[in-house]
């Protein structure tokens, strides 16, 4: 269940709320008693895909030239 905090309290206790959000607590900021925004932790950044990280997945024949008949098809000849 999210913690609901009014804007004035959020401004006063921002550092504490930020630490709570970082720890996983969902905090809803309310303005005039109505939900206005959410303070949640960021998802961890993924390392991203780096080509060549999985050795052995691409056979060496992948890098050999295509046969002439396939080359013609690809080139539209």
- The total of other beta-carbon atoms located within 10 Å of residue 52's CB is 7
Give pTM, 2 decimals: 0.55
**Strand pairing category for 34-39 and 27-31:** antiparallel
CA 59 to CA 19: how far, in whole Å? 49
> How many whole angstroms separate alpha carbon 29 and alpha carbon 18?
12
Residue 10 near residue 17, CB atoms below 8 Å: yes
Per-residue confidence (pLDDT) for residue 52, from 0 to 100: 65
Low-confidence ranges of the chain (pLDDT < 50): none
What was the pLDDT predicted at 63?
A: 87
Architecture of the domain whose range is 3-39: 3-Layer(aba) Sandwich (3.40)
């Amino acid at each position: 269940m999210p913690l609901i905090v009014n804007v004035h309290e959020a401004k006063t206790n921002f550092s504490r709320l930020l630490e709570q959000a970082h720890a996983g607590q969902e905090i809803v900021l309310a303005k005039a008693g109505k939900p206005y925004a959410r303070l949640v932790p960021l998802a961890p950044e993924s390392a991203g895909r780096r080509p060549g990280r999985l050795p052995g997945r691409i056979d060496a024949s992948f890098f050999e030239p295509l046969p002439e008949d396939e080359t013609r098809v690809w080139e539209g000849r």
